[in-house]
């Protein structure tokens, strides 16, 4: 049976003020334009105002300043998206994970599994690893030697934790993530590459989320460190000895080169590239598809991408960019010539 809540219960859950019928029963969530009776939606972007005025939802989460445009019950808050996040969790299905080790799992006799933990079919857990209370190791996950999976953390499926990786409490690792593979350390010997041993590991703090197919490399000497509350999207590459500060969020397809330090409370949008051995201060926000090639020591928003445009215009602009150096040289010569002319006495003054 699907979950149902009164609007008053949802208001208390998300910390919003109730406007309308608190006994209205809500059975699910939906977008403004698709919502029907018995569902709740939210309004946070002015571009969707036309949907707000015509919505058939039984309730909408929005700001007090937008309440006049809402034709139905409302939950009023200064942060509608945060309230929406809390409401959606009320309707998320609760999975009964059970307890214990599946018969089809392979657990080394030197591993330690808490009685309240779950190890699913196909999982492999190496010697010296420790799985704490209420942790979940999903199907076909592989944990190497001396791995720590903290209390309440979950590995959903086919996650790989290499030797020595330490995962904190209440973390969520999505399918296909690989944590603790070797960093890209190579030394050149007359054109041939020789591997540098990667002797560190990876440490994740508490409440960290790692997206599907994201990779976090082990450190060369010291650990790669992901601090508490960090949220990593899908298909991100975090190279060896990177450090990411508390509550930083990084979107999909970002690549972070080795030994980079990213501060707390930062955001990196999708497709960002960060070169190695630089620092990003706390509160740095990088726009999508930007390349960060130097340290950013002041908080703020940084953008380095070129926005999409019609191809023919792009071709013309790129042609002009190639001419910038010669144009700058000619401009400098013209400025010098103008200065010489201005320095000459006027014939009328002789």
285 a catalytic residue: no
DSSP 206-270: TT-EE-TT-EEEPPSSSPEEE-TT-EE-TT-EE-TT-EE-TT-EE-TT-EE-TT-EE-TT-EE-T
User: Using H for helix, E for strand and C for coil, what is the string for 33-68?
Assistant: CCCCCCEEEECCCHHHHHHHHHCCCCEEEECHHHHH
The alpha carbon of 334 is separated from its chain's Cα centroid by a whole number of angstroms, namely 50
Options 174, 207, 227, 240, the catalytic residue = 240
Helix axes 324-343, 311-322, angle to 10 degrees: 50
Helix axes 80-91, 7-14, angle to 10 degrees: 120
E strand or H helix that includes residue 84: helix 80-91
Both tokens assigned to 201: 């590991």
Both tokens assigned to 86: 């809390």
Burial of residue 170 (number of CB atoms within 10 Å: 0-12, 13-18, 19+): middle
Confirm if 57 and 30 have CB atoms less than 8 A apart.
yes
φ/ψ of residue 327, rounded to 5: -65, -40
φ/ψ of residue 210, rounded to 5: -125, 125
Q: Which residue has 């890209």 as its token pair?
A: 184
Burial 244-267 (b: 16+ CB within 10 A, else e): bbbbbbbbbbbbbbbbbbbbbbbb
What letter does residue 347 receive in the DSSP assignment? Answer: G
| Residues known to be catalytic | 240
């Amino acid at each position: 049976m699907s979950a149902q809540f009164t609007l008053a219960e949802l208001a208390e859950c998300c910390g919003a003020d109730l406007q309308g019928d608190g006994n209205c029963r809500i059975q699910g969530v939906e977008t403004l334009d698709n919502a029907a009776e018995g569902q709740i939606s939210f309004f946070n972007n002015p571009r969707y105002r036309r949907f707000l005025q015509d919505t058939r939802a039984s309730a909408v989460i929005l700001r007090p300043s937008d309440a006049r445009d809402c034709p139905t019950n409302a939950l009023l808050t200064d942060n509608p998206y945060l309230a929406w996040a809390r409401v959606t969790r009320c309707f998320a299905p609760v999975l009964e994970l059970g307890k214990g080790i599946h018969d089809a799992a392979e657990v080394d006799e030197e591993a330690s599994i808490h009685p309240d933990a779950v190890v699913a079919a196909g999982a492999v857990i190496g010697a010296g690893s420790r799985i704490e209370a209420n942790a979940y190791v999903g199907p076909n996950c592989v944990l190497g030697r001396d791995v720590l999976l903290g209390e309440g953390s979950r590995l959903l499926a086919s996650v790989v934790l290499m030797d020595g990786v330490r995962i904190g409490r209440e973390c969520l690792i999505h399918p296909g993530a690989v944590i603790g593979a070797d960093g890209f350390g190579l030394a050149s010997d007359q054109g041939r590459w020789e591997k540098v041993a990667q002797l560190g590991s990876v440490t994740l703090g508490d409440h960290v989320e790692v997206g599907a197919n994201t990779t976090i490399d082990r450190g060369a000497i010291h650990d790669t460190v992901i601090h508490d509350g960090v949220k990593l999207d899908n298909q991100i590459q975090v190279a060896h000895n990177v450090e990411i500060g508390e509550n930083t969020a990084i979107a999909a397809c970002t690549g972070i080169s080795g030994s980079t330090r990213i501060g707390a409370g930062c955001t990196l949008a999708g497709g960002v590239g960060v070169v190695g051995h630089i620092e990003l201060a706390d509160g740095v926000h990088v726009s999508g598809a930007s390349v960060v090639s130097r340290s950013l020591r002041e908080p703020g928003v940084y953008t380095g991408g070129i926005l999409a445009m019609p191809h023919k215009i792009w071709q013309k602009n790129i042609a002009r960019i190639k001419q910038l150096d010669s144009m700058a040289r000619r401009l400098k010569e013209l400025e010098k010539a103008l200065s010489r002319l201005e320095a000459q006495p006027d014939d009328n003054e002789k």
